[in-house]
Structure 1
Amino acid sequence: MSVELEGNILVTGANRGIGLELIKQLAVKMGGEAHIYACCREPEGPGAEALREVATKCPGKITIIKLDVADEDSMSTAARTVSEKIAAGGLNLLINNAAINKPASPAPLSATTKKDMMDVYETNVVGPFVLAKVLLPLLQRAAEKDSSAKDNGNKMSCRRAAIINLSTMVSSIEKCPETFSTAQMYPYRTSKAALNMLTRCQALDFKNHNILVAAIHPGWVRTEMGGAEVR
């Protein structure tokens, strides 16, 4: 069953891969009052050309926002920009999609440096942590609105106020023996495992505000990060 999306939606890492496809799919399902804030590091750069094309095809529905999830000042500035645009509307859905993988797969221990570990952790874990923190007032604003009718009485849902963190099966400690040989990826695996714990903590903490928090594994996707072959 097709569901028409409403409210304000923010997606990070929106200029390529899964993020770009999310923007395309969300735009198709948007209701008249819905709006997408598509975030990326260089909105005017060549890497965001495809995103700009999508925004052009959906006039008035998509706003491209400059956002670097490895830069706290950038996240604060983006939060202020979004807050000014949505006014009293609140933020209904935050999708933390932006992530990096260093060094290139299969990323064995011998090729991985301390800087790789820190860079990946800062983007994949600290970024979603800080962004949720600075956007929390906007999420609370949306959660406080009376939406019982459209949510069938459910106090928490993606149509009301929610954070979705994109995780991965390779972050699973239990399944590590099944996947480790094909791609060791120490920084990526450990950062996404930490993101899972962050999600769990936020889910318990933000439940008090009726904000849903969940992590999803989208499956393997043929992207620049995902590579050309299924792992």
Structure 2
Amino acid sequence: MATTSLNVHSVLVTGSNRGLGLNLVKRFLYLPTPPQWVFATSLKTDGAKLKDLNELKSQHQNLVVLQLDVTNPESINKAAEQVREHVRESGLTLLVNNAALRRKGDLETVTAEQMAAKYAVNTIGPHQVSQAFLPLLKTAAQRSPLQGLSCSKAAVVNISSAGGSIEVMLLWEKSQRVGYRCSKAALNMLTKCQSLVYKDYGILCVCIHPGWVKTGTSEADLTEEESTQGIVHVLATLSEKDNGTFVDWEGCKVPW
């Protein structure tokens, strides 16, 4: 898949110490014209789980690893200030809200505390992160020579799920994951709300379903590499007409 039309000065990916987040970071680093800055964030910045990310960091001078807890405003604001120190007057081109809780929980057993934890990370987290980085996104949009809306100008990309689609209800028979589904449906609404306001600042907003990705149990359709390659290709194709939409890793629209 060609991605040569995606040309971002800087990108930040939340929850990028493993899985989709880590693979998205790799895709950005390996672009034909890689960003000047790639910010990878993780809840913790030490320990065995950071091995792959730290190896990448040792190979790419443009990769910066930051601590970020999407449920903690102090942590978010600190990360935003660290990003500002690197990008300076150029702003942040692309924010990818990827961090998520995916734990199981069916309708009969899921607790209020479990539901609240998923909302805190999957819905409120992207909202708080987007708020904190909005000034940097505005700066990137204002300084860009590009017309209209695009991910090469300024964008918020929320990694959602067709599991949060009320019409699709992806894989309901295999796993109810009620808290996860509800939080992703709410994230979809957040994305729509962002798109109606942020467009006036020149910022594109979309939510993306990454596909049914293999994460250890392998009935799934896609590898993380296939999914993230698809996502980055789709990002290169998005324009003003896609603002506020819900698409998948192949660029196809997903029903709300």
Normalising by structure 2, what TM-score?
Answer: 0.81
2:64 is the alignment partner of 1:63: yes
Q: Per-residue deviation at 1:57?
A: 1.6
Spell out the pairing of 1:1-231 with structure 2 (5 A cutoff): 1-3=2-4, 5-29=7-31, 31=33, 34-58=36-60, 60-102=61-103, 104=104, 107-148=105-146, 154-176=147-169, 179-223=171-215, 227-230=217-220
Cα distance in 1, alignment partners of residues 91 and 141 from structure 2: 8
Aligned to 1:125, the other structure's residue is in SS state helix
Cα distance in 2, alignment partners of residues 33 and 189 from structure 1: 33
Q: Per-residue deviation at 1:32?
A: 6.2
Cα distance in 1, alignment partners of residues 185 and 78 from structure 2: 28
Cα distance in 2, alignment partners of residues 147 and 7 from structure 1: 13
Q: Per-residue deviation at 1:220?
A: 1.2
Q: Per-residue deviation at 1:49?
A: 1.1
Q: Per-residue deviation at 1:79?
A: 0.7
Cα distance in 2, alignment partners of residues 45 and 167 from structure 1: 28
Identity of aligned pairs, percent?
A: 36
Q: CA RMSD for the aligned pairs?
A: 1.6
Cα distance in 1, alignment partners of residues 12 and 19 from structure 2: 16
Q: Per-residue deviation at 1:45?
A: 2.1
Deviation per residue, 1:2-24 (Å, 9 max, x gap): 31533010000110000001111
- Gaps in structure 1 of 5+ consecutive residues: 149-153
After superposition, the Cα gap between the structure-2 partners of 1:33 and 1:125, relative to the gap in structure 1 and judged at 3 Å, is closer
Cα distance in 1, alignment partners of residues 17 and 176 from structure 2: 27
- Gaps in structure 2 of 5+ consecutive residues: 222-256
Task: Please say if residues 9 and 94 of structure 1, whose CA atoms lie closer than 8 Å, have aligned partners that are also in contact.
Answer: yes
Q: Per-residue deviation at 1:190?
A: 0.2
Task: Please say if residues 5 and 34 of structure 1, whose CA atoms lie closer than 8 Å, have aligned partners that are also in contact.
Answer: no
Task: Please say if residues 11 and 94 of structure 1, whose CA atoms lie closer than 8 Å, have aligned partners that are also in contact.
Answer: yes
Aligned to 1:29, the other structure's residue is in SS state coil
Displaced runs of 4 or more, over 4 A: none
Q: Per-residue deviation at 1:33?
A: 5.6
* Alignment size in residue pairs: 219
Q: Per-residue deviation at 1:116?
A: 0.5
Task: Please say if residues 71 and 121 of structure 2, whose CA atoms lie closer than 8 Å, have aligned partners that are also in contact.
Answer: yes
Q: Per-residue deviation at 1:71?
A: 1.3
Q: Per-residue deviation at 1:31?
A: 2.8
Letter in 2 for 1:79: A
